[in-house]
């Protein structure tokens, strides 16, 4: 695992976009596993700009998303389907047949999880996974305690996660459950890039990369063991690392 600290959010977003663009140029048919949230918005904006300038095509790439709220149809404004369409997939030349987001409104969520995991396998596995990190150390919706051997499944969201995400929903309507790609599937990605920005992520980042042991209590800590894992931080998110920076 590597740690790279950039001066600020703009530099972080630029670097993340550059990594994605480089991997796609090396392998136009790359399989990407992508996040939602506030953190990746700058990266998506830059990738869209690269596409619009004619410098980058996504036409042969395959996309998977990390998670979706259980119960939300793909046209719900707070769904990750809508987020991805509005911020990325709808703005680039992605092939709709190769864009995958879990269906939160699936009649049989367990079957949807199995189908999703099989689709990742059939695509040949993930070449590059880009992730955010929650203030509690979650990745995707793998909350503290999630097994390292977990696959795509239905999970219950931590109360702290629901509080952070409540702003996207009407009062008391924030979903209690979600579908998330599991930690084993994330770990099997050939490369993982975790993005963290801001002082409110500093504690989670330090717990994940330098404090204590690799532990299921801090899901992101599993990435310490990843042969090609990088924590891409801005200075605020890296501010609790002290002298403990390790490669
Ligand atoms: P954020 O979410 O980018 O909105 O902070 C990250 C996460 O919870 O994984």
The CATH number of whichever domain residue 84 belongs to comes to 3.40.50.1360
The total number of structural domains in the chain stands at 1
Q: Given this model, what pLDDT does residue 246 score?
A: 44
Q: Given this model, what pLDDT does residue 171 score?
A: 77
Q: Which of 35, 180, 194 to mutate to test the pocket of ligand 1 (most atoms within 8 A of CB)?
A: 35
Q: Is residue 240 part of a domain?
A: no
Residue bearing tokens 């997939």 = 89
Q: Is residue 241 part of a domain?
A: no
**Between the CA of residue 199 and those of 121, 206, 232, what are the distances in Å?**
36, 11, 14
pLDDT tens for 59-110 read 999 999 999 999 999 999 999 999 999 999 999 999 999 999 999 999 999 9
- Which residues does a 6 A CB cutoff place in the pocket of ligand 1? 37-39, 132-134
Q: Given this model, what pLDDT does residue 243 score?
A: 56
Which phi and psi (to 5°) does residue 130 adopt? -105, 135
Atom of ligand 1 nearest to the CA of 37: 4
46 C-alpha to center of ligand 1: Å? 18
Q: Is residue 152 part of a domain?
A: yes
DSSP state of 180: E
Which phi and psi (to 5°) does residue 90 adopt? -80, -5
Q: Given this model, what pLDDT does residue 9 score?
A: 98
Question: Rounded to whole angstroms, how far apart are CA atoms 111 and 66?
Answer: 17
Residues of the chain with pLDDT under 70: 243-247
Q: Is residue 245 part of a domain?
A: no
Task: Supply the range of the domain harboring residue 94.
Answer: 2-233
Close Cβ partners of 4 (under 8 Å, ≥ 6 residues apart): 15, 230, 231, 232, 233
37 C-alpha to center of ligand 1: Å? 5
SS3 label, residue 207: helix
140 C-alpha to center of ligand 1: Å? 9
Q: Given this model, what pLDDT does residue 241 score?
A: 94
Q: Given this model, what pLDDT does residue 173 score?
A: 82
């Amino acid at each position: 695992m590597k740690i790279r600290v950039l001066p600020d959010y703009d530099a972080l977003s630029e670097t993340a976009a550059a990594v994605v663009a480089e991997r796609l140029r090396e392998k136009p048919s790359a399989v990407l596993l992508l996040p939602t949230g506030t953190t990746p918005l700058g990266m998506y904006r830059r990738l869209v700009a690269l596409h619009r300038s004619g410098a980058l095509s996504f036409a042969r790439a395959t996309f998977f998303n990390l998670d979706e709220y259980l119960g939300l149809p793909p046209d719900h404004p707070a769904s990750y389907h809508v987020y991805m369409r509005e911020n990325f997939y709808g703005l680039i030349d992605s092939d709709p047949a190769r864009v995958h987001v879990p269906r939160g409104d699936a009649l049989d969520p367990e079957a949807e999880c199995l189908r999703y995991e099989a689709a990742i396998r059939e695509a040949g596995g993930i070449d590059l996974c880009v992730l955010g990190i929650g203030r509690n150390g979650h990745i995707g919706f793998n909350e503290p305690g999630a097994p390292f051997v977990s696959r795509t499944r239905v999970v219950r969201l931590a109360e702290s996660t629901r509080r952070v995400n409540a702003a996207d929903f009407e009062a008391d309507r924030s979903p209690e459950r979600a579908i998330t790609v599991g930690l084993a599937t994330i770990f099997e990605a050939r490369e993982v890039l975790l993005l963290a920005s801001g002082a409110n992520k500093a504690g989670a980042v330090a717990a994940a990369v330098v404090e204590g042991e690799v532990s299921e209590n801090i899901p992101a800590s599993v990435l310490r063991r990843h042969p090609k894992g990088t924590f891409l931080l801005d200075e605020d998110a890296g501010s609790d690392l002290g002298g403990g920076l390790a490669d």
